[in-house]
């Protein structure tokens, strides 16, 4: 760490403290050359991969866009906003843990479908019909059979 006063690269950490939330570390440093003290802050920076679209263009990951597409599929379905937020967070976590700099939009779509399948079968079919670009009734039937063979999870009414 360079000293902001004299530019020397030899500095020593005099004191280290975490903030109350535990997401930032405050360090008091001392410059070996000019003896002046200064403070630095260290925090985790999560890097989400760039999304590579089908046409080859690249865009930043957009959580709001992800949530909007999920909410559209879940429109008028009995699923809480908290459940959708949690599903979006799981998708984000998966993208971060992959450790890749770029990821195909198809792969993100598959992650969304997996989460929607857990949340609501009708929303899953809605999303799949657009995502997979169903062209005839047989494709709908295949998707419906796919969710019918999966074990059912009963939710109390109003959830």
pLDDT at 99: 85
45: left (phi over 0), alpha (psi -120 to 50) or beta: beta
pLDDT at 133: 65
Give the architecture-level CATH label for domain 50-149: Orthogonal Bundle (1.10)
Rounded CA-CA distance 65/3 in Å is: 42
pLDDT tier for residue 10 given thresholds of 50, 70 and 90: very high
Angle at 120 between CA 119 and CA 123, to 5 degrees: 120
Strands (E), 19-157: 24-31, 37-43, 50-52, 58-59, 102-104
Q: For the whole model, what pTM was predicted?
A: 0.61
pLDDT at 153: 55
Domain segments of the chain as ranges = 11-43, 50-149
């Amino acid at each position: 760490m360079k000293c902001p006063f004299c530019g020397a690269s030899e500095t020593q950490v005099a004191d280290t403290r975490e903030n109350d939330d535990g997401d930032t570390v405050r360090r008091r440093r001392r410059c070996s050359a000019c003896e002046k003290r200064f403070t630095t802050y260290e925090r985790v920076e999560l890097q989400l991969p760039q999304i590579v679209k089908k046409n080859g263009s690249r865009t930043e990951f957009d959580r709001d866009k992800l949530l909007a597409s999920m909410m559209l599929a879940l429109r008028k379905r009995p699923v809480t906003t908290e459940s959708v937020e949690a599903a979006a967070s799981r998708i984000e976590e998966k993208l971060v843990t992959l450790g890749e700099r770029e990821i195909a939009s198809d792969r993100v779509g598959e992650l969304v479908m997996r989460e929607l399948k857990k949340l609501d079968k009708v929303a899953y079919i809605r999303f799949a019909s657009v995502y997979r670009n169903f062209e005839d009734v047989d494709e709908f039937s295949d998707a419906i059979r796919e969710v019918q063979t999966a074990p059912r999870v009963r939710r109390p009414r109003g959830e």
